[in-house]
Amino acid sequence: MATKVAEKTAAKRASVKKTTAKTVDQYIAGTPKEQHAALEKLRRTIKAAAPKATEGLSYGMVGYKLNGKYLVYFGSWKTRTSRAKARSSPPLTDRFPMRW
């Protein structure tokens, strides 16, 4: 049983695309074309909600930092996109609802 779980975990890790992007523009350009518009809209929404945040790449995803702490991340995979609130971030529900 443990071997099957380890094999499944290894297969999942092997299927995760490792990004070589150095910028957010490169990251988005490397995603499936049908996701580009949604990712650019998400990027604009985050920038509007937190205009002083800086964007960069962390954990293979796009992240936005404010005052040295990550607020939110988003990433893209073959068939989906995802976004996540960073654990250290302050509440942004008034400006950036987590429900989309």
More confident residue, 99 or 7: 7
Among 11, 8, 18, 6, CA closest to 77: 18
Global pTM? 0.65
pLDDT digits (tens, 9 = 90+) for 9-44: 555 554 445 668 899 999 999 988 988 998 999 899
Here the contacts of 30-37 (C-beta below 8 Å, separation 24 or greater) are: 31/76, 32/76, 32/78, 35/76, 35/81
Looking at the predicted structure, is the pLDDT value of residue 73 above 50? yes
Separation CA 14–CA 1 (nearest Å): 20
In the structure encoding, which two tokens stand for residue 29, read together?
């350009």
Structural domain boundaries in the chain = 32-100
Report the mean per-residue pLDDT for the chain: 77
